Amino acid sequence: MKRKLEDAPMNMTPMIDVVFQLIIFFITAIDMQRRDLDLQLKLAMAPHGKPVTTRNPLTIYVDVDQQGRISIGGVRMTTDYLYVVLRKAVNEFGQRNVPVVIRGDMKTSHEDIRKVMDACSRAGLFTVLFAAIQEKA
């Protein structure tokens, strides 16, 4: 005697495996994004600045420390190499699609921030934002 298809129980094991894989992926992705930022930087205060509500996944975060050293994702680079990275992003995604966020330490000189801004404009990127904090932690 054949059983009807309707009476067969549904195997939930593959679905549970997929859910666990997704959870592991998102936990790892969130942790990697946090590690990419230089947590040693002391950002300037901007109590009246507008908070970021939406994030573009193509955003490039450029850190500039007190000594004027430039890095992206913890990788130190010169302004010439920064230009190459930014130019590659423009070629790949278009200049209107790639915003740049400059995360400068509060003690960084304007000259060092200006070098990053110049590299952005040379690469054709004109959506440049500056990271700051609204309240002291």
The full set of domain ranges for the chain reads 5-36, 60-130
| Domain 60-130: CATH class, spelled out | alpha beta
pLDDT in tens, the chain (137 residues): 565 666 667 788 888 888 878 777 666 666 545 555 556 777 777 777 777 777 788 889 999 999 999 998 888 999 999 999 999 999 988 878 889 999 988 888 999 999 999 999 999 998 898 888 777 65
The pLDDT of residue 37: 59
The pLDDT of residue 57: 83
The answer to whether residues 107 and 66 touch, using CB atoms and an 8 Å cutoff, is yes
The pLDDT of residue 86: 93
The pLDDT of residue 62: 92
Token pair 């490039």 is found at 60
The pLDDT of residue 122: 94
What Å distances lie between residue 102 and 8, 24, 38, 93, 114, CA to CA?
A: 58, 30, 12, 19, 10
The pLDDT of residue 18: 83
The pLDDT of residue 45: 74
The pLDDT of residue 46: 77
Distance between CA atoms of 89 and 87, rounded to whole angstroms?
5
